[in-house]
Homo-oligomer: A and B are copies of this chain.
Amino acid sequence: MTTINDVAKLAGVSKAAISRYLSGTLKPKKETIKRIEEAIAETNYTPNRMAASIRTKTSNTIAIVIPSAKNIAFAEMTEAINDELAPYGYSMVTYTTNEKLEQEKLASNKIRENRIDGAIFITEPKGNKDMSHIDLLEESGIKTLLINRFFEPNKYSNISIDCYNGGKEVVKYLIETNHKKIGLILGWENQDQSELYKKAYKEQLLEMGLNIDDNLIEYCNFEETKTRNIVEDLIQRGADSIFAMSDRTAIIALDVLEEKNIDVPNKISVVGYGNTQFSKLVKMTSLDGKGELIGKLAAQMLLKKLRGVDEDEFKLLSTSIVTRNTTKKI
């Protein structure tokens, strides 16, 4: 790779002239510009952004930390973030955690090592409240932003879906369409999101005068076989509807129901969460996860922080159910 020195030599000016010309802090005369441009073209010169970074202390790179890149919900957010940031020249590096705290910490280390400007963490590693690595990033001057990790205001910048009220809406909808035994399939036990959905579910049930059957509440850990067993159990226990905490889980539920020849939505209604491509393709009712909106807002918020506007923000996005062919008034 050619360096700025090669270009300078070829153009017959100092390397400072090249650097300043490229950054717009020097206006060379026409003839010099011509020589510089020719030299750049001839050598295929591209500035070494890393060398620049060590002086300017900005890498023009942001990181996203997600449980899994092939999970459609995260993929949709990721793409939205990238689409929003790319026009500003940011590159995006992805670290996956498999929802493990340990891996999230490794990612944080990489982010520090690479002096990445800002990082977006999506969801929390299962059931863990250790924030020390995030704190360290902020102390190191790396801007952080959390998505679907906290559901009430706190010291971190955060954007989340209001799954408490969203969950209540789903339950309300199901009750209003005459369902009485609503199966609830949660993700991980002790994870904020699961517990919020559970709370919403129970409270809405009570508010509408139904009583709670704990046998209808299960944690699937986002595992397929576990989910299948749960769905079978729920059928056994007489569930007339199922609300699952992810579209993927809901689609697995649909599959089990189809295998058992149980008519959806006439016999059992199914609601997912995410409103991802998945739910659209299979025409499934789903609580909107607003992945693309969240990604877009997250990118904008991070951009703001990167520019130094540093009031920590907390956003809770209201959501609503998108009804399709897997739910029906009975």
Determine whether the beta carbon of B281 is less than 8 Å from that of A248: yes
Can you report 27 residue pairs joining A to B where beta carbons are below 8 Å apart?
A1-B112, A1-B115, A44-B136, A46-B113, A50-B114, A51-B54, A54-B54, A61-B114, A69-B78, A69-B82, A70-B75, A70-B78, A70-B277, A72-B277, A86-B96, A91-B93, A91-B110, A91-B114, A92-B93, A93-B94, A94-B94, A248-B277, A252-B281, A255-B283, A278-B278, A278-B281, A282-B282
CA distance A251 to B1 in the complex (A): 46
Bound-state Cα–Cα, A136 to B150, Å: 46
When distances are taken between beta carbons in the complex, the residues of chain B under 8 Å from A140 are 1, 44
Give chain A's interface residues, CB within 8 Å of chain B. Answer: 1, 44, 46-51, 53-54, 59, 61, 68-70, 72, 75-76, 78-79, 82-83, 86, 91-96, 109-110, 112-115, 136, 139-141, 248, 251-252, 255, 277-278, 281-283
Apart from A70-B79, A82-B94, A93-B94, what are 12 other A-B pairs with CB-CB below 8 Å? A46-B113, A48-B113, A49-B114, A50-B53, A50-B59, A68-B79, A70-B75, A72-B72, A91-B95, A92-B94, A255-B281, A255-B283
Number of copies: 2
Classify the interface of chain A: helix, strand, loop or mixed. helix
Closest B residue to A90 by CB, please name it: B110
Complex contact A46–B82 (CB within 8 A): no
- CB pair B251 A281 closer than 8 Å: yes
Specify which of A47, A68, A91, A140 lies most central, judged by the most chain B CB atoms within 10 Å of its CB: A91
Q: Which residues of chain B come closer than 8 Å to A282, judged between CB atoms?
A: 251, 281-282
The smallest beta-carbon distance between A127 and chain B, in angstroms, is: 23
Q: Which residues of B contact A281 (CB under 8 A)?
A: 248, 251-252, 255, 278, 282
A22–B51 Cα gap in the complex (Å)?
A: 22
Contact B49 A113 (CB under 8 A): yes
Chain B residues with CB below 8 A from A78, complex form: 69-70, 94
Closest chain B CB from A237 CB (angstroms): 24
A77's nearest neighbour on chain B, judged by CB, is B70
Which residues of B lie under 8 Å from residue A49 when comparing CB positions?
A: 113-115
Cβ-closest 6 pairs across A and B: A70-B79, A69-B79, A50-B50, A49-B113, A70-B75, A46-B112
Closest to A44 in B: B136
A96 touches B79 (CB 8 A): yes
Are A141 and B46 in contact, with the CB atoms below 8 A?
A: no
Among the listed B61, B115, B139, B141, which residue makes an inter-chain contact with A93, where contact means beta carbons less than 8 Å apart?
B61
Question: Which of A61, A136, A139, A141 has its CB near the most chain B CB atoms (within 10 A)?
Answer: A61
A318 to chain B, nearest CB (A): 24
Task: Give complex CA distance A83, B76 in Å.
Answer: 20
Contacts of A76 in B (CB 8 A): 70
